[in-house]
Amino acid sequence: MGTIYETRESFPVPLTSAEALQILVQNLKAEGYRPRHESIGVTVCTGWNFFVRMWGTMLPWGRRSVPVGMTVNFEETTTGSIAKGHAYDRLGWYLDAETNPVFKEEWHRKMEQFTELARKALTTQA
């Protein structure tokens, strides 16, 4: 079973790809994430499958551990660059992943949090 929940978003950034990448990595680190820097983008993940599978979503530590990832790649333009974000769940196969409202709520909350963090970091630095 692949990704169930995902969202994609693109927005212009008035910085070069290299500058935008550096700023995004710094902001992610400042927020406590451990981003993986790649040549044209960055990937960051949060949550842990083990806690979710062990304790489910009824307990707070299971709910907070719902695994989500985000990849942001940059494409150069004449006026700066375009940030292309892809936020997605990383749970894999789970019996009630599509029907469990807590999974859906947590994934969407975390995906929105990642997307907003990237947008804020890249648009306020110009």
What pLDDT, in 10s, does the model give residues 8-32?
Answer: 999 999 999 999 999 999 999 999 9
Ramachandran angles phi, psi of 58, nearest 5°: -80, -25
User: Per the CATH hierarchy, to which homologous superfamily does domain 6-123 belong?
Assistant: Kinase associated domain 1, KA1 (3.30.310.80)
Strands 41-46 and 36-37: antiparallel
Higher pLDDT, 95 or 55: 55
Angle between the N-to-C axes of helices 101-123 and 17-30, in degrees from 0 to 180, rounded to the nearest 10: 130
At 48-70, the pLDDT tens digits run 877 777 777 777 777 778 888 99
Q: Which two tokens mark 79? A: 């006026």
Check residue 72 and give its pLDDT: 94
pLDDT of res. 126: 53
Instruction: Please give the average per-residue pLDDT across 96-118, as a whole number.
Output: 81
Task: Using the structure block, give the residue that is written with the tokens 């985000």.
Answer: 70
On the question of pLDDT at 96 being above 80, the answer is: no
Say whether pLDDT at 123 is over 90: no
Using pLDDT thresholds of 50, 70 and 90, give the confidence band for residue 74.
Answer: very high
Enter the tokens of residue 105.
């709520």
**Per-residue pLDDT at 125:** 62
**CA 22/CA 46 separation, integer angstroms:** 20
Two tokens, residue 100: 């469990």
* Whole-angstrom distance, CA of residue 103 vs CA of residue 119: 24
Separation between Cα atoms, residue 66 and residue 34, nearest integer Å: 17
Average predicted confidence (pLDDT) for the chain: 85
pTM of the model: 0.83
Sheet with 36-37, side-by-side order of all strands: 6-13, 80-89, 68-77, 41-46, 36-37
